[in-house]
Structure 1
Amino acid sequence: MCNSCVMLFDDRERSILPEFTALPKLKSGEILVKNKYATLCGSDLHTFTGRRKEPSPIVLGHEIVGEIIEMASNEPFYDLNGNILKLGDIVTWTIFAAPNEDEFVKDKMPQKSASLFKYGHVKFTKEEKFNGGLGTHCVLKKGTGILKVPSSINEKFAPIINCAGATAMAAFRLIDKIENKNVLILGAGVLGLIASSIAEQKKAASVTVFDIDKDRLEKSKSFGAKYIYNALSPIEELENIMSQFYKKGFDVIIDMSGSVDAIKTGLKYSAIGTQHIWIGAVTPTEDIAVNPEMMIRKLLSIKGMHNYNFEDFVNAVSFFEEHFSAYPFQTFIEKEFELKETKEAFEYAVKYKPFRVLINI
């Protein structure tokens, strides 16, 4: 399409148009990547439709894989596994950059750094041009967690790892124990199906996936789900599943849906000692009443997770390196578009709601 350009989204005009611009001179600690593939995340779609407000104009896209083509100095650069990075390496990276000295980074919450930089979330300016996936290049800032893409992982799937994959992995860091536990996953989207496969590999006693989409529920069976429940069906069907469990409820409940009704159902069908992990509700939503006596008597816990940290990202890449061939992860990519077709890709994703569309750059 061009040697160096971005697809610029303007929320006032609701437009996505190419902006042809020269590559910047790298600053100390920066790496220039030639983007290869980007996938459209749900948050990208929320921005496109106006459900979510981001600075405008903006280069969207934070699920990205690319090739290192330039480094700012002759000093060695390392990935999060301690490997030396070199020109030609195919890499993916955290959706954020954060300085090591930040207190949030020290507390293993880099995604909340006071100096946070998020790819695909920064306004396009003369100084900040190549900072998202929907462009020919991306400049990786100092403080970005970078990992080489293992050869066992299909490169077209790999962009999903640095958002949905790492976020799903973050949920399991919050869980005290999952082995031999009965897990309920609310939502059968990309996050939910990845979480289902992780739970199976971590030896959960059972995984139940909860959604309203019958096709996605059926698909979840190939991602480790032992039981499925359609929320449009009689609640007795869910109760029949739980009746098989010793505690007559779910031990671990992970919400990937953001649905208030789903979260309420999870609270209602908690076992004694249930751990609730809430991830999906990242757009404004209504409050939920939680009864203190129920929380106390049933020994419940609720933890929230937004994005992920460096450890989660490393563990996610490692998980897919080991288990990519065990599950049909590649089927998440349901449609491919060229960079010049970015607007058409968004329109397709909004209309047909595929798991992911891929932008081939």
Structure 2
Amino acid sequence: MCSSCVMLFNEKNGSILPEYTALPSLQKGEILVKNKYTTLCGSDLHTFAGRRKEPSPIVLGHEIVGEILEMAQSEPFYDLNGNILKVGDLITWTIFAATDSDEFVKDKMPQKSASLFKYGHVQFTDKEKFNGGLGTHCILKIGTGILKLPTSIDEKFAPIINCAGATAMAAHRLIDQIEGKNVLILGAGVLGLIASTIAKQKKASSVTMLDIDDVRLENSKFFGADYVYNSLNPIEELTQITSGFYKKGFDVIIDMSGSVEAIKTGLQFSAIGAQHIWIGAVTPTANVEVNPEVIIRKLLSIRGMHNYNYEDFTNAVDFFEDHFLDYPFHTFIEKEFPFQDTEKAFHYAAKYKPYRVLITI
């Protein structure tokens, strides 16, 4: 394997090929990381399949764990928990970097910052080379939220935390109250399963998982789901579940699927006062009709969440430090590929749709 190179995705022909290039000199405040593990997120696969547009050529991958090799300043670097960072530390970091002076950062929405830099989303150029997970190295910018990886978390699972884990935690931050509530989660992928475990740890009264895959639905029971519903089946099956609830509907509905039909089902089965958190629809999709009178009379609320903030990221790492052994999170990694087989990993993930594919660098 090369000492310093990246795997470049080219949108024109859909190829992912190695680009051998020297490491640049660090600028003040930057950190050089040796990438160890990267998992392929759904958004990476959308880009690979042409459903999502990113600048090309590009180094994809933003779910990353790596080891600090070099830090470009004399004063100490600190992670988000106030720990001093040092060479050799195993870390994971936010998908984004943003400057403290930005108004969006002050409003706790750094992921929407005007100065936003997103790892795995920036075009490969002479000045920007090592900025994604599918490279031997990554250069971390000022304003990146960094955390040392707790030893209680499997380092091969850990890349998932800085996207799916933190995003699921962001969804829960928007919920006013979940203890004692009946929760419906739309989509039994990684995001939905993590959201389910968080709901159970926050003492939700019940969690119902909706999907079209019976295998994933059955598996969701290991991640806290009390009820499951395949939305290809008669709607009466879902009515039977809600008939046992006092309000005859769900109090909290979290969409991780991006499916318009699933979102419609969630709206249909809203309890009085229900909260809807929409996360999954991050690629172009159809509109959803919402009747204002229904929203008003049923006291409903709808909130969207894209990515997450620094607090969500910290809370996600804390959650997995406390609960990694309570659920079979290690099963999310269904296939592992060496770095040189990155293109094969994408084809495998596109064909078989595992929870996650891991690339070892």
Please classify the TM superposition score into its range, dividing by the shorter chain length.
Answer: over 0.9
Give me the whole-angstrom Cα distance separating, in 2, the residues matched to 1:338 and 1:144: 27
CA distance in 1, matches of 2:173, 2:52: 28
Give the drift of 1:232: 1.0
Secondary structure of 1:81 counterpart: coil
Q: Secondary structure at the match of 2:9?
A: strand
For 1:15, give the aligned amino acid.
Answer: S
Q: Which amino acid aligns with 1:280?
A: G
1:14, 1:181 → 2: CA distance? 45
Map residues 312-331 of structure 1 onto 2, 5 A cutoff. Answer: 312-331=312-331
Structure 2 partner of 1:334: 334
Tell me how far 1:80 sits from its aligned partner.
0.4
1:178 aligns with: 178
Cross-structure match for 1:127: 127
Aligned residue number for residue 89 of structure 2: 89
> Tell me, what secondary structure is at the counterpart of 2:65?
strand
Q: Distance in 1 between matches of 2:29 and 2:175?
A: 35
Aligned to 2:261: 261
Runs of 4 or more above 6 Å deviation: none
Give, in whole Å, the separation in 1 of the partners of 2:287 and 2:45. 24
Gaps of 5+ in 1: none
Structure-2 residue corresponding to 1:142? 142
Query: Does 2:222 match 1:222?
Result: yes
Deviation at 1:233, TM superposition (A): 1.1
Tell me the distance in 2 between the aligned counterparts of 1:73 and 1:176: 42
Structure 2 distance, partners of 1:289, 1:57, is 37
Cα distance in 1, alignment partners of residues 289 and 3 from structure 2: 54
1:62 aligns with 2:40: no
The one-character-per-residue Cα deviations of 1:61-89 (angstroms, maximum 9, x if unpaired) are 00000000100012100000010000100
Question: How many Å separate the matches in 2 of 1:306 and 1:287?
Answer: 18
Counterpart Cα distance in 2 of 1:8 and 1:283: 22
How far apart are the structure 1 equivalents of 2:143 and 2:212?
A: 40
Aligned residues: 361
Q: What RMSD over aligned residues (CA atoms) do the two structures have, in Å?
A: 0.4
Work out the CA distance in 2 between the residues paired with 1:312 and 1:294: 32
- Structure 1 counterpart of 2:76: 76
The AA in structure 2 aligned to 1:124 is F
Counterpart AA for 2:22: A
Cα distance between partner residues in 1 of 2:44 and 2:62: 8
Q: 1:118 corresponds to which residue?
A: 118
CA deviations 1:227-260 (Å, max 9, x no partner) are 0011011111100100110000000000000000
Q: What is the TM-score of this pair, normalised by structure 1? A: 1.00
**Structure 2 unmatched ranges of 5 or more:** none
Query: What is the alpha-carbon distance in structure 1 between the residues aligned to residue 230 and residue 15 of structure 2?
Result: 37
Alignment-mate amino acid for residue 169 of structure 1:
M
Offset from partner CA, 1:100-143 (integer Å, 9 cap, x none): 00000000000000010000000001100000000000000000
One-letter code aligned to 1:244: G
> In structure 2, what is the Cα distance between the partners aligned to 1:114 and 1:205?
40
| Aligned mates of 1:230, 1:87 — CA distance in 2 | 49
Please show how residues 88-107 of structure 1 align to structure 2 within 5 Å.
Answer: 88-107=88-107
Tell me, in whole angstroms, the C-alpha distance in 2 between the residues paired with 1:312 and 1:252: 19
* Aligned-pair CA distance for 1:13: 2.1
Displacement of 1:314 in angstroms is 0.3
- The code of the aligned residue for 1:163 comes to C
Give distance in 1, aligned partners of 2:147 and 2:316: 11
Q: Distance in 1 between matches of 2:56 and 2:233?
A: 42
Query: Which letter does structure 2 place at the counterpart of 1:146?
Result: I
Find the aligned partners of 1:33 and 1:207 in 2 and give their Cα distance. Answer: 39
Q: TM-score, normalised by structure 2?
A: 1.00
The correspondence of residues 1-361 of structure 1 with structure 2, limited to 5 A, is 1-361=1-361
